[in-house]
Amino acid sequence: MEEKPISINALDGYPAVDKERLEESLKAERKGFDRKIIVLDDDPTGTQTVHDIPVVTDWKEDTLKEIFSMEEQMVFILTNSRSFSREHTKDVHKEIGEHIASAARESGKDFLVISRGDSTLRGHFPLETEVLRETLEKECGIKFQGEIICPFFKEGGRYTLNNIHYVKEGDSLTPAGQTEFARDKSFSYQSSHLGEYVEEKSAGKYKKEDCIYISLEELRGLKLDQITEKLLKAEDFCKIIVNAVDYEDVEAFCICWIRAMKQGKHFLARSAAALTRVIGGVCEIPLLTKASLVDRDTKNGGLVIVGSHVKKSSDQLASLMESRAELQFIEFNVNCYFTEGNLEGETERVKTMAEETLGKGGSVVVYTSRKLAVPPTEDKDKILALSVEISKALTDVVRRLTLKPRFIVAKGGITSSDVATRGLGIRKAMVMGQIKKGIPVWKTGPESKFPDMPYIIFPGNVGEVTTLREIVEELM
């Protein structure tokens, strides 16, 4: 039976809980929970709920040893695996697993691995966690009893109730399998019920009836012993579906999760950004403002890069074009990809135009043309490779800059990752916080092209129609 959109008012139909009591219980449970939390982020947007957390952009063995020696309990590793082929994803996660195991042995510290994925269910699932499971079990001699599935992300309007995952669209909640995200050319799916999604994506290896479901009724009723008992009974890497419509649901679950881990159970997690904030004990802080985000020492203009092609991004770009702010819009013609050598030429053309404006104090918006002539193939890896090549060419505009912009905003997951690693040369950054809910800001490391510069990462599928315009106007 196909699920139907429901009113957003459905979120109000659950009893409130004593938030103060819940937070105190979680704080108490986290005492003695000192294992290193390693979050593997398949694009840079996963830091959208945290602050004062390090991010590294490689997974070499020395880097993992450095992570285990860091003072901070939680560290993000940007893999950008959503832009990888399946085979490359498999190789990378095997390597990461081996290096985690080696660093853990040397440090003598226990660890928890979270695979931070897209809140609209795109990405290499279940491949990433399957490879991590196999590698870590082999290298560490442990057994993973279950995998936590928690795509809830309030800041982006993603909710799970009655085991169905929804995406907020206007005043309605649309089942995720009926959104444009489910039609992604590289990561398509049909199921909105998370048990059915697991069965679909695992090609039947994990059945929906074998999943463990943590209901909102259990979470809001603070049935903590009952939930913990469910987790303790998990075996054979079964999938544990967490319903959540607000942060207190995640907090209640994390109390039980930590209890189960303290009793010797091992879990991996595939989640959106909300779970990382709660399990990492990260408090909420005010949104960042222009005063901490704009470089007053440069008279150069600011730079906005828009690579994402999802409808929300295109609508936000259209809204930005209606802004009264003085902006130069430069279209990057992505269809140059199909003419040999022209992608390189397009990069140089756009870079020259952008730098000329920046040097005069003007701000620039570089955006990819909205229509792409997709090659006649159903090979998802080939389609993904096309997107990656275009993103690299686009972000080479940043890499070739000789002027430091007053600010940089990158729109889109693959785009913002390429701007970070290829364009700005970031190896290590610190998450400063968010400029808007769900929109993270990094401070670049000393090794980067522009050291100690705030870098704004705007996910393609987050924000209202006017959010991009509001951010740019605030920074001007």
**Between 380-399 and 342-359, two packed helices, what is the crossing angle to 10 degrees?**
40
The pTM for the full model equals 0.91
The residue that leads in pLDDT, 450 or 313, is 450
Question: What's residue 296's pLDDT?
Answer: 80
pLDDT (mean) for 209-229: 97
Give the confidence band of 179 by pLDDT, cuts at 50, 70, 90. Answer: very high
- What percent of the chain shows pLDDT beyond 90? 79
Question: What's residue 376's pLDDT?
Answer: 56
pLDDT (mean) for 172-191: 93
Give the confidence band of 384 by pLDDT, cuts at 50, 70, 90. Answer: low
- pLDDT tens readout for residues 3-54: 899 999 999 989 999 889 899 999 999 998 999 999 999 988 889 999 999 9
Task: Tell me: pLDDT of 1 over 70.
Answer: no
Question: What's residue 8's pLDDT?
Answer: 94
Task: Tell me: pLDDT of 373 over 60.
Answer: no
Closest CA to 97 of 105, 87, 108: 105
Question: What's residue 105's pLDDT?
Answer: 96
**β pairing state of 267-271 and 238-242:** unpaired
Task: Tell me: pLDDT of 414 over 90.
Answer: no
Strand order of the sheet with strand 164-169? 6-7, 172-175, 164-169, 158-161
- pLDDT tens readout for residues 56-72: 999 999 999 999 999 99
Catalogue the long-range contacts made by 191-200 (C-beta closer than 8 Å, 24 or more residues apart): 192/3, 192/164, 192/165, 192/166, 193/3, 193/163, 193/164, 193/165, 194/149, 194/151, 194/160, 194/163, 194/164, 194/165, 194/241, 195/163, 195/239, 195/241, 197/121, 197/165, 198/126, 198/149, 198/239, 198/241
CA distance 256 to 459: 31
H helices present in 212-369, as ranges: 216-220, 224-232, 247-262, 273-279, 290-293, 311-321, 342-359
Task: Tell me: pLDDT of 212 over 80.
Answer: yes
Question: What's residue 380's pLDDT?
Answer: 66
Question: What's residue 372's pLDDT?
Answer: 62
Question: What's residue 457's pLDDT?
Answer: 94
Question: Are 21 and 251 within 8 A, CB to CB?
Answer: no
Task: Tell me: pLDDT of 250 over 90.
Answer: yes
CA distance 240 to 160: 13
Task: Tell me: pLDDT of 194 over 90.
Answer: yes
pLDDT (mean) for 233-243: 97
Question: What's residue 416's pLDDT?
Answer: 87
Question: What's residue 125's pLDDT?
Answer: 96
Question: What's residue 377's pLDDT?
Answer: 57
DSSP string, 146-183: EEEEE--BGGGTEEEETTEEEEEETTEEEEGGGSGGGG
Question: What's residue 389's pLDDT?
Answer: 78
- pLDDT tens readout for residues 420-456: 999 999 999 999 999 999 999 999 999 999 999 999 9
CA–CA–CA angle 390, 393, 399 (5° rounding): 145
Question: What's residue 415's pLDDT?
Answer: 84
| Token pair recorded at residue 174 | 């649309």
| Cis check: omega of the bond before 126, within 30 degrees of 0 | yes
pLDDT (mean) for 340-369: 90
**Between 247-262 and 19-30, two packed helices, what is the crossing angle to 10 degrees?**
30
- pLDDT tens readout for residues 252-308: 999 999 999 999 999 999 999 999 999 999 999 999 999 999 988 889 999 999 987
Q: Which of 9-18, 97-106, 201-210 bottoms out in mean pLDDT, i.e. has the lowest?
A: 9-18
Mean pLDDT, the chain, whole residue set: 92
pLDDT (mean) for 82-110: 96
- pLDDT tens readout for residues 131-158: 999 999 999 999 999 999 999 999 999 9
